[in-house]
Structure 1
Amino acid sequence: MAKKTTPPKKAKTTRSKAKPQSPTRKKATVKKRASGKKKSILGRLFKWAFVTGLWAAIIMGGVLAYYASELPDIAESASFERQSSITILDVRGEVLARYGEIKGNSVDIADIPPHLIQAVMAIEDRRFYSHFGIDLLGLARAMIVNIQAGGVVQGGSTITQQLAKNLFLSHERTLKRKIQEAMLAIWLEHELSKDEIMSAYLNRVYLGSGSYGVDAAAMLYFDKPVKDITLRESAIIAGLLKAPSRYSPRRNPNLANERADVVLAAMVDAGYITDAQAKGLSNIPPLPPQKPGSANSVRYFTDWVVDGLDDLIGTPETDLVIETTLVSDIQDAAKNAIQNNLAQYGTDLEVGQGAAIVMAHDGAVIALVGGRDYNRSQFNRITQARRQPGSSFKPLVYLTALENGFTPASQIMDEKITTGRYRPENFGDKYYGMVNLETALTLSLNTVSYQLMKDLGPQSVIETARRLGIISPLEADLSLALGSSSISPLELATAYAAIANGGYGVFPYAITKIRDDDGRTYFKRPDQTLTRRVADERAIRQLQVMMQNVVENGTGQRARQAFPVGGKTGTSQDSRDAWFAGFSDKLVAVVWTGNDDNSPTKGVTGGSIPAGIWSEIMRDAQYKFQGRASFGLSQNYDLKGLIGRLLTPAQEQSEQSRHAPYHNNAGFGADDQRHESSQRYND
């Protein structure tokens, strides 16, 4: 085993003989050791801070490099050329709407009033001419204000940053977008002069109501070019930058006035104007009156026009002016009829939406109201919705029958269906025995339509529908006789136009001409001539007068006019959809009411609210539309000479007795409603 060693005694003796230190020296030694320890800690902290900072810088550099790599192509995006705009006119040349990024003229900085530039700087970026694209002082101030407020109440973006966002980036609020915005702002400051940045910003900024740029806003709100606006008007335009819709002088003149006062106070604070100047500008300037047809309902029409532009000329590369078929007076009449009737009956009957289209016999769309309120819902229920048409589809079944050997006088037994999987019922389970086709359509008897569909075959009716312009999928099922397949109101109007014009197919259209401001024409619709026959003329003439009888003696009496009209009501299962579609000798109109969620209404039928709306629209449209009639409707509804109606005196008396209960001049009373609402599946 190894011998255990002990420490040398000499070392021990040396330590034991060491002289004792004085208290003063001992304290100095302790301080020295503490100081060294402190320096060691500070050194380590400095070292770690340096390393951490270095890594943070490396990471930040990597993040910036990554964000920079995802920036758009600045060379291509930095062009300040005006984007194309679209101006849509009604049939008289009045402006309906404007689309596009810039509507006003691109204005040089020298032509922009100095007080407008000062107003914008006072409220948005006072140090614009001194910072490098990012206002560090402004950022610090905004941070303090936001901390004190406990939320974001003030932004720190400069005008250059806002221009960078508008030119290159989306409007999402993310850290990535803010970093990219700052990088692009610095780049813009390097590439452009301050005046160029200010000019680009003022020519592109959104200022509400579809206007981009200060010249467009000046024309829209004050009916004058920007070079002529006053100090007060400049304050109003500058006030729009925070919230264009909220502070619009059209929508909220009081709020616009209050915001303008804030801008003027900021201008006083910045030293641009005196307090006396600001106090002398208290009244908001009068706005130019709204042009006819400029109410929001027209946007359903103009949106549809713009959506179809690509099919005609492709993507526009210059400012365009589009001339259309819309008649603003009729558009307003349609809008008012829908809004007034829904306001009067909608709540009690639980119906929330309505839509209407008015079309000339050649397919020209004269008016289009796609919903109750465009501001609340831009969904176009005329062109985009697919709903069950109910009995308003029945004329296509009857037309197929008339083209295949039946006549209005042909007799069919109206009786309860007791066999087969599908067993439609008449209203109130009432049946009339042997009736002719005219009476069956007038009373909207479901069993007769069903028997015709069964005899003709669903496919033959589908072929008729296709010829007349219905393109939606149709189920080859016997229930199609009662309008079980969903279609759009635009399709139904197209089919009824073919019935109204004597059997010629039409394509719905709204654009008559596309041109630019210099007079170059990009598209011109040729004069419409009805040459494409899609239905037998004799059968169409018979159907026209049968549909007149629906209005005169049947379910559509509320649509009666002082001039001859024909039409058909339609109501789907549980009154989810209610329609009236009809025509005069010049026009076709289709009205739909219902709910967007397809919920049932309280017994709304085609002969009630829709027929009333249709009646109001057609009463105005017939006299305001300047187009010529494509045929003459019988004034006395005597069909004997035209369709060879062969009835015995007994049959005539029987038919008159069947019609008698439905001569309800009020049009919305118990007789009309009772007949229509209980047709189980349709009216």
Structure 2
Amino acid sequence: MIRLLKFFWWSFLAVVCGLLLVLSGAFLYLSPSLPSVDALRSVELQIPLRVFSSDGKLIAEFGEMRRSPIKFAEIPPHFIQALLSAEDDNFENHYGVDPSSLMRAASQLVRSGHIQTGGSTITMQVAKNYFLTSERSFSRKITEILLALQIERQLTKDEILELYVNKIYLGNRAYGIEAAAQVYYGKSIRDVSLAQMAMIAGLPKAPSRFNPLANPVRSKERRDWILGRMFRLGKIDEASYNAAIGEPLNASYHVPTPEVSAPWIAEMARAEMVGRYGSEAYTQGFNVTTTVPSNLQEDANHAISAGLIAYDQRHGYRGPEARLPGKTPREWAQELTRQRPLNGLEPAIVTKVDKTGITVLTRDDKQASIAWDSMKWARPFMNTNSVGRMPAQPSDVAQVGDLIRVQRQADDTLKFSQVPTVQSALVSLDPRTGAIRALVGGFSFEQSNYNRAMQAKRQPGSSFKPFIYSAALDKGYTPATLVNDAPIVFVDESVDKVWRPKNDTNTFLGPIRLREALYKSRNLVSIRVLQSLGVDSTIDYISKFGFNKQDLPRNLSLALGTATLTPMEIATGWSVFANGGYKVSPYLIERIDSRNGETLFRANPPTVPADEVAAASPQTAPGTPAPEAAPIGVDATLTPGAPPAPAIAERVIDGRTAFILTSMLEDVIKKGTGRRAMALGRTDLAGKTGTTNDSKDAWFSGYNADYITTVWSGFDQPETLGRHEFGGTVSLPIWMTYMAAALKDKPAHVQPEPEGILSLRVDPLSGRAAAPGTPGAYFELFKSEDTPPSNSEFGGGSAPGSPLPADESAPIDLF
């Protein structure tokens, strides 16, 4: 017996010594390649990119991993107890490795022949998650053990737990317990119940198997087991245990819900961040604050939606998106799950038609009624220019099984609708800085993420004419200059081609003042002015507004707006008129903050100086920035120390030109093609409509001193909007809806009058200074050096203020 005991004793010592030798050898072999545990103190977890409005509302989140790191002190004690009960109830006592857990894992391996559990402690899991792969091998396990021992020597238990709960994957792209609480319950881990904490604590073992959304039965079993362990270990009392066990598994999928709908803004910010930081933009936890206030963006969204739906319904009902008669309610419900809402227009299937309206099945599997009154607009669409008869009853519009679109109202009732095929874009800028205040790139981002505000190059039509008139005012023309509105013919003899431009009304008014020609949008006057100025010199002048010369045709059709430009380019050019003559550059990102709240970038755009705007000094030469301008710009990164000096915008036109042109554009709204905007009841608005040939593009650009806003409408594949549709009927109502909201309760804000402006009485027939008693004389604005002579002083010629020579209809070379 003594010999047997000695044998077992020496055998045990040999095994122990052998294990020690193996571990020592493994340590000596692996230690040179072991990573430094100190790296855990400065580890940066992947955090998604978040984009916010200027008032701090979430616009979007980008990144594969949803994660919101949390400090140990913020973790509820009950969650720590639930986690330790599930994963490592001996955590407080071991030194990184739990021999009993390893022996249990080894015995399971011997019995089954397969690795079932790894026997890992939380510390070992931290070592694996931060430093190792998920490979199942003995060498990886030994490395994990050695790292765990080092981690326990250098970090506290609290630090280890903090690393663990922020790193672990918990299903549905949620990494870390705070993200998991947000995904499954829509609230912080600090606010969830004991039962919900136990459910989250059960996920690290197998996030897919115990997922409450994919496997609610298994998830509840796991949750209840953890609650039982907590009770048996004395972590909770019996009353808390019974209450938690009785709580239903109420998890549901919560995604970070944008607080403001601005998908095109989000995509622009994402693209700019990737351009700056590459793929790290998605993982480094950048918080991007844009220049867009949430209220203005929502106003723009509503304006585009309402305007396009109104246009679409004027042109009739194109029928249901699909017909599904004879299907069962279950089949209808399945079809609805495959349809997406588009800009508030929800899919629905007609289940009943009667004389008072229709009943529909909605995506939430509910029946709802639609009143006949909301369907009366639905005359059959024939083509863009004609519609069929007015429907007499609901059955003339819809049948059972029709897949249609409905629009939910504020009182939760539904209106009959359809998805517009026409598109529109809106850009609103701060003319003093170029900050983007609102941008919409189309009817629905889900329908098409093509950003028409930034990418669609279309002809601006008459909304381009102010640039021609600005060139004229800077070349000595005045608002009182008379130009002949008469027929004109251009011939290219080399190809036997003739161009006979005409006004949209196909009428001619004869000699007409420049101011009147602009608000009446006379095409022939614009052509004659451009002809007088010269195409090349005018293009050189207009390019100062920020346009690419390659987009400007080098012929007289430029006067009619045949350039190809985006709404953003038009709005940027118009900002020069709105701010008194300065060129600003549009920008979107106001500030970039790190995950720790450190400001990495702050925009410093070239800005119109307040004193320069007030003075609008004519002595400031166009093209010369103020002497104190700092060449920092919007792409400058923030430098430590004092904030950078503000960059000063470059003056590109005489401030008096901008002021006089604004006065002329105010008349477009008071007397001309934009007079519908008078309904806004404001005195500080200036703007211009634009409609291209066959009404393929409809524009309106307008401003006061606070906002310059441009709206374009048309089809993606150019076709007519209809013979009775123009910039003033399609785009102007959208502009009005937005500007009415943007300027609500704001006082009138106009440019201050610059020095060097005179107001003189003018003879409306001659355009020259009026003598006392001249019938119809009116006051007109002039630059001090461009005042017209009186009738008595005029001795002939064609100086500004006098009619152009009569013989201007002779053929010339246009091409």
Task: Give me the TM-score of the superposition, normalised by structure 2.
Answer: 0.53
Equivalent positions of 1:646-661 (< 5 A) are 646-648=763-765
In the other structure, the counterpart of 2:742 is: 621
Question: Which stretch of the first structure deviates more once superposed, 564-573 or 372-381?
Answer: 372-381
Match of 1:577 among 692, 697, 701: 697
In the other structure, the counterpart of 2:711 is: 591
In the other structure, the counterpart of 1:82 is: 45
* Inter-partner Cα distance in structure 2 for 1:131 and 1:377: 54
After superposition, the Cα gap between the structure-2 partners of 1:428 and 1:326, relative to the gap in structure 1 and judged at 3 Å, is same
Equivalent positions of 1:243-254 (< 5 A) are none
* Inter-partner Cα distance in structure 1 for 2:460 and 2:714: 11
Structure 1 residue 234: Cα displacement: 7.0
After superposition, the Cα gap between the structure-2 partners of 1:641 and 1:240, relative to the gap in structure 1 and judged at 3 Å, is farther
Question: Which stretch of the first structure deviates more once superposed, 91-100 or 382-391?
Answer: 91-100
Assess if the C-alpha contact under 8 Å between 2:471 and 2:538 holds in 1: yes
Please provide the CA RMSD for this pair: 5.4
Assess if the C-alpha contact under 8 Å between 1:341 and 1:609 holds in 2: yes
Structure 1 residue 237: Cα displacement: 8.3
In the other structure, the counterpart of 1:343 is: 309
Structure 1 residue 399: Cα displacement: 0.8
Assess if the C-alpha contact under 8 Å between 1:551 and 1:567 holds in 2: yes
Do structure 1's residue 556 and structure 2's residue 674 form an aligned pair? yes
* Inter-partner Cα distance in structure 2 for 1:93 and 1:510: 14
Match of 2:516 among 439, 444, 447: 439
Assess if the C-alpha contact under 8 Å between 2:199 and 2:220 holds in 1: no
Assess if the C-alpha contact under 8 Å between 1:471 and 1:491 holds in 2: no
Q: Secondary structure at the match of 1:597?
A: coil
* Inter-partner Cα distance in structure 2 for 1:610 and 1:365: 19
Structure 1 residue 343: Cα displacement: 2.1
Assess if the C-alpha contact under 8 Å between 1:500 and 1:584 holds in 2: yes
After superposition, the Cα gap between the structure-2 partners of 1:261 and 1:312, relative to the gap in structure 1 and judged at 3 Å, is closer
In the other structure, the counterpart of 1:253 is: none
Assess if the C-alpha contact under 8 Å between 1:239 and 1:263 holds in 2: no
Q: Secondary structure at the match of 2:425?
A: strand
Structure 1 residue 502: Cα displacement: 0.8
In the other structure, the counterpart of 2:733 is: 612
* Inter-partner Cα distance in structure 1 for 2:59 and 2:558: 39
Equivalent positions of 1:398-409 (< 5 A) are 398-409=469-480
* Inter-partner Cα distance in structure 2 for 1:392 and 1:364: 22
In the other structure, the counterpart of 2:548 is: 471
Q: Secondary structure at the match of 1:308?
A: helix
* Inter-partner Cα distance in structure 1 for 2:531 and 2:777: 27
Match of 1:368 among 431, 439, 449: 439
* Inter-partner Cα distance in structure 2 for 1:559 and 1:389: 20
Do structure 1's residue 449 and structure 2's residue 526 form an aligned pair? yes
Structure 2 residue runs without a partner (length 5+): 1-34, 88-101, 107-128, 149-159, 229-240, 316-383, 385-419, 492-496, 610-625, 627-649, 768-773, 779-815
In the other structure, the counterpart of 2:287 is: 321
Equivalent positions of 1:524-539 (< 5 A) are 524-526=602-604, 528-530=607-609, 531=626, 532-539=650-657
Do structure 1's residue 304 and structure 2's residue 375 form an aligned pair? no
Match of 2:589 among 496, 511, 518: 511
After superposition, the Cα gap between the structure-2 partners of 1:538 and 1:326, relative to the gap in structure 1 and judged at 3 Å, is same
Question: What amino acid does structure 2 have at the position aligned with 1:593?
Answer: S
Identical residues among aligned pairs (%): 28
After superposition, the Cα gap between the structure-2 partners of 1:629 and 1:90, relative to the gap in structure 1 and judged at 3 Å, is farther
Cα deviations by residue, 1:71-93 (Å, 9 ceiling, x for unpaired): xxx99xx9984235433333333
Q: Secondary structure at the match of 2:60?
A: strand
In the other structure, the counterpart of 1:281 is: 248
* Inter-partner Cα distance in structure 2 for 1:406 and 1:552: 22
In the other structure, the counterpart of 1:660 is: none
Structure 1 residue 102: Cα displacement: 4.6
* Inter-partner Cα distance in structure 2 for 1:497 and 1:224: 44
Q: Secondary structure at the match of 1:383?
A: helix
Equivalent positions of 1:22-171 (< 5 A) are 81-83=44-46, 85-100=48-63, 101-105=65-69, 113=79
After superposition, the Cα gap between the structure-2 partners of 1:388 and 1:131, relative to the gap in structure 1 and judged at 3 Å, is farther
In the other structure, the counterpart of 2:575 is: 497
Higher share of residues assigned helix: 1
Question: Which stretch of the first structure deviates more once superposed, 359-368 or 265-274?
Answer: 265-274
Assess if the C-alpha contact under 8 Å between 1:215 and 1:226 holds in 2: yes
Question: What amino acid does structure 1 have at the position aligned with 2:523?
Answer: N
Structure 1 residue runs without a partner (length 5+): 1-73, 122-128, 133-165, 168-180, 245-255, 635-639, 656-683
Assess if the C-alpha contact under 8 Å between 1:515 and 1:521 holds in 2: yes
After superposition, the Cα gap between the structure-2 partners of 1:485 and 1:581, relative to the gap in structure 1 and judged at 3 Å, is same
Structure 1 residue 438: Cα displacement: 1.3
* Inter-partner Cα distance in structure 2 for 1:552 and 1:558: 9
* Inter-partner Cα distance in structure 1 for 2:477 and 2:203: 67
Assess if the C-alpha contact under 8 Å between 1:352 and 1:595 holds in 2: yes
Assess if the C-alpha contact under 8 Å between 1:514 and 1:523 holds in 2: yes
Question: Which stretch of the first structure deviates more once superposed, 417-426 or 533-542?
Answer: 417-426
After superposition, the Cα gap between the structure-2 partners of 1:263 and 1:300, relative to the gap in structure 1 and judged at 3 Å, is farther
Question: What amino acid does structure 2 have at the position aligned with 1:647?
Answer: P
Q: Secondary structure at the match of 1:570?
A: strand
Q: Secondary structure at the match of 1:451?
A: helix
* Inter-partner Cα distance in structure 2 for 1:199 and 1:305: 31
Assess if the C-alpha contact under 8 Å between 2:579 and 2:608 holds in 1: no
Task: Give me the TM-score of the superposition, normalised by structure 1.
Answer: 0.62
In the other structure, the counterpart of 1:294 is: 259
Cα deviations by residue, 1:134-162 (Å, 9 ceiling, x for unpaired): xxxxxxxxxxxxxxxxxxxxxxxxxxxxx
Structure 1 residue 495: Cα displacement: 0.8
Do structure 1's residue 485 and structure 2's residue 563 form an aligned pair? yes
Structure 1 residue 216: Cα displacement: 3.0
* Inter-partner Cα distance in structure 2 for 1:483 and 1:201: 61
* Inter-partner Cα distance in structure 2 for 1:642 and 1:308: 48
Q: Secondary structure at the match of 1:429?
A: coil
Question: What amino acid does structure 2 have at the position aligned with 1:320?
Answer: F
Assess if the C-alpha contact under 8 Å between 1:82 and 1:102 holds in 2: no
Assess if the C-alpha contact under 8 Å between 2:82 and 2:227 holds in 1: no
Question: Which stretch of the first structure deviates more once superposed, 530-539 or 324-333?
Answer: 530-539
Q: Secondary structure at the match of 2:301?
A: helix
After superposition, the Cα gap between the structure-2 partners of 1:182 and 1:518, relative to the gap in structure 1 and judged at 3 Å, is closer
Assess if the C-alpha contact under 8 Å between 2:300 and 2:738 holds in 1: yes
In the other structure, the counterpart of 1:135 is: none
After superposition, the Cα gap between the structure-2 partners of 1:599 and 1:515, relative to the gap in structure 1 and judged at 3 Å, is same
Question: What amino acid does structure 2 have at the position aligned with 1:281?
Answer: P
Assess if the C-alpha contact under 8 Å between 1:232 and 1:284 holds in 2: no
* Inter-partner Cα distance in structure 2 for 1:318 and 1:268: 33
Structure 1 residue 335: Cα displacement: 0.6
Structure 1 residue 326: Cα displacement: 1.4
Do structure 1's residue 352 and structure 2's residue 430 form an aligned pair? no
Cα deviations by residue, 1:545-589 (Å, 9 ceiling, x for unpaired): 111111111111222332220111112233222111110122111
* Inter-partner Cα distance in structure 2 for 1:96 and 1:480: 39
Larger radius of gyration: 1
* Inter-partner Cα distance in structure 2 for 1:642 and 1:488: 36
Structure 1 residue 473: Cα displacement: 2.9
In the other structure, the counterpart of 1:22 is: none
* Inter-partner Cα distance in structure 1 for 2:525 and 2:488: 10
Assess if the C-alpha contact under 8 Å between 2:52 and 2:58 holds in 1: yes
Structure 1 residue 426: Cα displacement: 1.4
